[in-house]
Amino acid sequence: MFVVALRKDTFSAYPTEVILDEDLFQLPFADISLDRRAELRKDTKLLEREWRDSASLLLLVAGKNNVLVRPEGGLHWRSPTELSSELPEDAIFLGVTESEESLFALADVDPSLMGSHEEAVFCSLRDIALSLDAFEQSAAALAVALATWHQQAPYCPHCGQLTRPSEAGHVRRCAGCDATIFPRSDAAVIMLVSDGDRCVLGRRIGSANGRWSTLAGFVEAGESPEAALCREVFEEVGLRVDGLRYRGSQPWPFPSSLMLAYEAHAPYGDLRGNEEHHEVRWFTREELRRGYADGSLGVPSTLSAGGHLIRDWLERGVDN
């Protein structure tokens, strides 16, 4: 259940506020207040006017994940016409703010076009996301997700011809067969498995020493998230789970995942390792608290759903 309050204007069906069920996390990048205004994406004339409107705002993206930020924190929004007097073909229309300012993004920006804003710097969205408010997190996530997709989708998957951006950067169209190609989101499950008193964490190959994470994996073709969860837990640690509980979702635009967070129950038992982890093991709450306090375990970040799952499990229970 969630409570929705509709905006009073006639243009948007987006709610001004969504109160999630108390079981669900409010996760970074998942804020709903960015009104994407999808119906305007084909209206090039209107978007050209919005591009030239002095109230409109432009976010610059460089490389795959880097967004322009202010030294004092927050995204460094520019006036679109500082970069180009006309709406560029590859401009991305992100949507509008609550005060109806149009938001655009432009990727692969030439640093020489930075003009007099040298004090602003490009930073990885992963590194600075927690310093942004919920609205800017979601706007930047959309910009980065689409910028990355445009870099990776130059050719038509049907006929191999070049594709061009269309519909304000939300689709690409093939010059050869006129196919419309949409960006994709790859669903993945991330899950905290516990027996009530202990939870299963893994030290993933390639991650920092001391960093223990929840289990996670991609949903395969023709598979539900719940089936993927059961399969992944069995493949990664050899446990059979039940009592699945959905805890929320989060776009993860590095490059194109949609994370679906769950808790699941499994009886305490021996774990079987796998090639994705250096080690997997059970932790009691006391072991986690002690490890976070003395620095032997990396404190889980509040950026990812996995960090929220671990923190919530710690806060909800006490060791016997």
Which residues are at the interface with Zn ion (CB under 5 A)? 156, 158-159, 161, 174, 176-177, 179
Nearest to 62 by CA among 104, 94, 106, 29: 106
Give, in order, the Cα–Cα distances in Å from 125 to each of 54, 151, 187, 230, 299: 26, 17, 20, 31, 20
Residue closer to Zn ion by CB (options 176, 196) is 176
**Nearer to Zn ion among residue 173 and residue 311 (C-beta):** 173
Q: Minimum distance from CB of 171 to Zn ion (Å)? A: 13
Closer to Zn ion by CB, 3 or 177: give it: 177
Give the dihedral sign, CA 62/303/24/198. positive
Closest approach of Zn ion to the CB of residue 107, in Å: 22
Q: What is the DSSP string of 15-84?
A: EEEEE--TTS---TT-----B--GGGTT-HHHHHHHHH-TT-EEEEEETTTEEEE-TTSSB--B-HHHH-
Question: Smallest gap, in angstroms, from Cβ of residue 161 to Zn ion?
Answer: 5
Cβ-based nearer residue to Zn ion, 55 or 177? 177
Q: How far is the CB of 91 from Zn ion (least distance, A)?
A: 23
Which CB, 114 or 156, lies closer to Zn ion?
156
Give how far the C-alpha of residue 248 lies from the chain's centroid of Cα atoms, to the nearest Å: 12
Q: Least distance (Å) from Zn ion to the CB of residue 163? A: 7
Q: Give min distance, CB of 151 to Zn ion, in A.
A: 18
Q: Which is nearer to Zn ion, 81 or 161 (CB)?
A: 161
* Rounded Cα gap, residues 80 and 113, in angstroms: 12
Q: Pinpoint the alpha helices (H) of 159-304.
A: 225-237, 285-294
Q: How many CB atoms sit inside 10 A of residue 211's CB?
A: 15
